[in-house]
């Protein structure tokens, strides 16, 4: 791809921009040609989509700031109601135009927004204003008029404004039923491994040479590219493990070119990191501490190591009973629970035949009475239906081990569902 060229902007700025956004030159030049010169009216709305961390937000932000285009940048997750969103846009507009008015902006509807918007931006008439809405998929959950109105904001306000929507999902999922103005859609493809290599190598620490860091990135990508292509995550991992990579160099055992030796040193370490840090089993700070101590991560138990849950005696039986009730059909109850008393072993055994089909179907709801009946039959000694037992059922629901199904009418024979897995029940039943 040739260098970015555009008559409207100075070449130095463009060069700088190009160095900042590697591997995205084609998209940037396309955007620039759409934007046109500052005073030109541009496309009313642009829709940019691409997978996670394909540089959408970053490219937009650097493009707008380096070329000093007037813009407003809003994240739709953060401003979760339409009112907050609109007010935030107006606030940013005010502060960018430098007119410090009364800080409290009241803007409840889009109609207000259009009016206030017109008031706020009289002096921007000669330049295109860009409103960037990051994570625009949230817009769909706001009032129905917000999205179509943003798409034709230029027409509504009669100002030189362009709305840019950034999202991770395709435009087809946005299109409202009533139809709307079609934006210009644009796709940001995923970075390839070469791109990732280039981008990651770009920000090498100052004390080491770029080649050295590039070699490190090469090794890192070799290990992690199979499981993770997320640029942010990779960058995080690179920063975490770099000190370990440098260790032989610092100790003087190897020089910077001795890649083979370095690779031997780092490879098992990276594999370990893949099992722990990447899955967030242990936190990055713990990982760093481990590196300093040089200890084994075996001593530090990860999150999933603590799967065992301590439950009171009757809660265990309640949970087992609930599990049996939701995976066994009602007609087998008589066969399993009626005759003998301490028959729980046998029931588990006999259940094997039907298990496959029932487990594929998922848990079925069951009434409270059935749960209690099964409980009485699997507990050896007598259990009085005390308030404690009932409150335990509710506390199991709050722990999300059971879930309540159906109507919220408590008197109407509540129905429950068991939400835990077979492994969990096995652990409890032991």
Residues of this chain that interact with other proteins (CB under 8 A) are 52, 75, 77-81, 84, 87-88, 104, 232-233, 236, 239, 280, 282-286, 288, 301, 303-304, 306-315, 369, 384-392, 395, 398-401, 411-413
Q: Kindly state the smallest distance separating residue 411's Cβ from other proteins, in Å.
A: 4
| Residue among 39 and 81 whose Cβ is closer to other proteins | 81
Cα end-to-end span (Å), the chain: 64
d(CA 23, CA 1): 9
Q: Kindly state the smallest distance separating residue 17's Cβ from other proteins, in Å.
A: 24
| Residue among 11 and 330 whose Cβ is closer to other proteins | 330
| Residue among 124 and 311 whose Cβ is closer to other proteins | 311
Q: Kindly state the smallest distance separating residue 422's Cβ from other proteins, in Å.
A: 15
Q: Kindly state the smallest distance separating residue 21's Cβ from other proteins, in Å.
A: 20
According to the 3-state scheme, what is the secondary structure of the chain? CCCCCCCCCCHHHHHHHHHHCCCCHHHHHHHHHHHCCCCCCCCCEEEEEECCCCCHHHHHHHHHHHCCCCEEEEECCCCCCHHHHHHHHHHHHHHHHCCCCCCCCCCCCHHHHHHHHHHHCCCCCCCCEEEEEECHHHHHHCCCCHHHHHHCHHHHHCCCEEEEEEECCCHHHCCCCCCCCCCEEEEECCCCHHHHHHHHHHCCCCCCCHHHHHHHHHHHHHHHCCCCCCHHHHHHHHHHHHHHHHHHHHHCCCCCCCHHHHHHHHHHHHHHHHHHCCCCCCCHHHHHHHHHHCCCCCCCCCHHHCCCCCCCHHHHHHHHHHHHHHHCCHHHHHHHHCCCCCCHHHHHHHHHHHHHHHHHHCCCCEEHHHHHHHHHHHCCCCCCCCHHHHHHHHHHHHCCCEEEECCCCCCCCCEEEECCCHHHHHHHHC
| Residue among 296 and 310 whose Cβ is closer to other proteins | 310
| Token pair of 258 as six digits | 């001795």
| Residue among 209 and 394 whose Cβ is closer to other proteins | 394
d(CA 411, CA 401): 22
| Residue among 175 and 364 whose Cβ is closer to other proteins | 364
| Residue among 22 and 302 whose Cβ is closer to other proteins | 302
Q: Kindly state the smallest distance separating residue 218's Cβ from other proteins, in Å.
A: 22
Q: Kindly state the smallest distance separating residue 317's Cβ from other proteins, in Å.
A: 9
- Dihedrals phi, psi of 250, to nearest 5 degrees: -65, -40
Q: Kindly state the smallest distance separating residue 224's Cβ from other proteins, in Å.
A: 13
Q: Kindly state the smallest distance separating residue 414's Cβ from other proteins, in Å.
A: 11
Contact at 8 Å (CB) between 147 and 179? no
Q: Kindly state the smallest distance separating residue 196's Cβ from other proteins, in Å.
A: 17
| Residue among 19 and 292 whose Cβ is closer to other proteins | 292
Q: Kindly state the smallest distance separating residue 394's Cβ from other proteins, in Å.
A: 10
């Amino acid at each position: 791809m040739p260098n970015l060229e555009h008559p409207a902007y100075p070449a130095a700025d463009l060069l700088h921009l190009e160095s900042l956004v590697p591997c995205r030159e084609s998209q940037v030049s396309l955007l620039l040609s759409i934007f046109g010169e500052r005073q030109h009216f541009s496309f009313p709305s642009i829709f940019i989509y691409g997978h996670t961390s394909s540089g959408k937000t970053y490219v937009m932000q650097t493009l707008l700031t380096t070329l000093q285009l007037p813009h407003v940048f809003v994240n739709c997750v953060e401003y979760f109601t339409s009112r907050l969103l609109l007010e935030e846009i107006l606030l940013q507009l005010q502060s960018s135009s430098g007119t410090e008015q009364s800080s409290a902006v009241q803007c409840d509807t889009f109609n207000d927004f259009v009016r206030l918007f017109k008031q706020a931006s009289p002096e921007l008439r000669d330049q295109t204003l860009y409103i960037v809405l990051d994570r625009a998929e949230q817009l769909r959950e706001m009032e129905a008029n917000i999205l179509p109105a943003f798409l034709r904001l230029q027409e509504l306000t009669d100002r030189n404004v362009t709305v840019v929507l950034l999202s991770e999902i395709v435009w087809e999922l946005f299109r409202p039923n009533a139809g709307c103005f079609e934006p210009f859609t644009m796709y940001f493809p995923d970075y390839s491994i070469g791109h990732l290599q280039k981008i990651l190598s770009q920000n090498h620490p100052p004390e080491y040479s770029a080649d050295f860091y590039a070699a490190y990135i090469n090794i890192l990508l070799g290990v992690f590219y199979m499981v993770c292509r997320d640029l942010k995550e990779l960058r995080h991992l690179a920063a975490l493990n770099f000190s370990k990579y440098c260790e032989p160099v610092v100790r003087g055992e190897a020089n910077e070119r001795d890649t083979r030796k370095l690779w031997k040193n780092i490879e098992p370490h990276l594999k370990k990191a893949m099992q722990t840090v990447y899955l967030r089993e242990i936190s990055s700070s713990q990982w760093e501490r481990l590196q300093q101590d040089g200890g084994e991560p075996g001593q530090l138990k990860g999150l999933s190591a603590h799967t065992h849950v301590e439950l009171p005696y009757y809660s265990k039986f309640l949970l087992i009973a609930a599990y049996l009730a939701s995976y066994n059909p009602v007609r087998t109850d008589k066969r399993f629970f009626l005759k003998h008393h301490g028959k729980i072993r046998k029931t588990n055994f006999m259940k094997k035949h039907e298990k496959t089909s029932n487990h594929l179907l998922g848990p079925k709801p069951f009434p409270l009475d059935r749960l209690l009946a099964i409980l009485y039959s699997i507990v050896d000694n007598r259990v009085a239906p005390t308030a404690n037992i009932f409150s335990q059922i509710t506390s199991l629901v709050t722990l999300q081990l059971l879930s309540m199904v159906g109507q919220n009418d408590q008197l109407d024979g509540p129905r429950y569902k068991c939400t835990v897995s077979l492994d969990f029940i096995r652990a409890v039943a032991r």
